[in-house]
């Protein structure tokens, strides 16, 4: 018999929850008909942007929740959505908060 998971099921946020989540996040925009959030970060140089991305990548792997992102020199564009539920979930909000802390630490 498989061990019971201690993780709660991931569910898509409803309209009210999306509104409250967006209000609690600084600078993130609701996109894709309210099913994703996006933010662009700008750093002083490529190495700061890369270091920021490395920290986010490690946390994303730990969470098993990975962003859609791109990097051009000192700029990192990030889109968060939960494909498994077809929209925005609490995992996206938690990762966005972590990303914002990392960006602040990296000078973005």
Give the integer Cα–Cα distance in Å for 56 and 72. 16
What pTM was estimated for this model as a whole?
A: 0.88
The full set of domains in the chain, from first to last, is 28-106 (3.30.1360.20)
Stated as kind and residue range, the H or E segment containing 20 is: helix 15-24
58: CB partners within 8 A, 6+ apart: none
26 contacts 100 by C-beta, under 8 angstroms: yes
pLDDT tens sequence across 61-107: 999 999 999 999 999 999 999 999 999 999 999 999 999 999 998 88
- Residue 107 confidence (pLDDT): 83
pLDDT tens sequence across 32-57: 888 999 999 999 999 999 999 999 99
């Amino acid at each position: 018999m498989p061990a019971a998971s201690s993780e709660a099921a991931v569910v898509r946020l409803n309209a009210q929850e999306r509104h409250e989540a967006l209000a609690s996040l600084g600078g993130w925009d609701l996109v894709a008909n309210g099913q994703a959030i996006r933010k662009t970060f700008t750093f002083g140089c490529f190495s700061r942007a890369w270091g920021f991305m490395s920290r986010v990548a490690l946390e994303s792997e730990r969470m098993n929740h990975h962003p859609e992102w791109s990097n051009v020199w000192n700029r990192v564009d990030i889109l968060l959505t939960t494909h498994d539920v077809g929209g925005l979930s609490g995992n996206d909000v938690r990762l966005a908060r972590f990303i914002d802390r990392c960006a602040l630490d990296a000078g973005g």
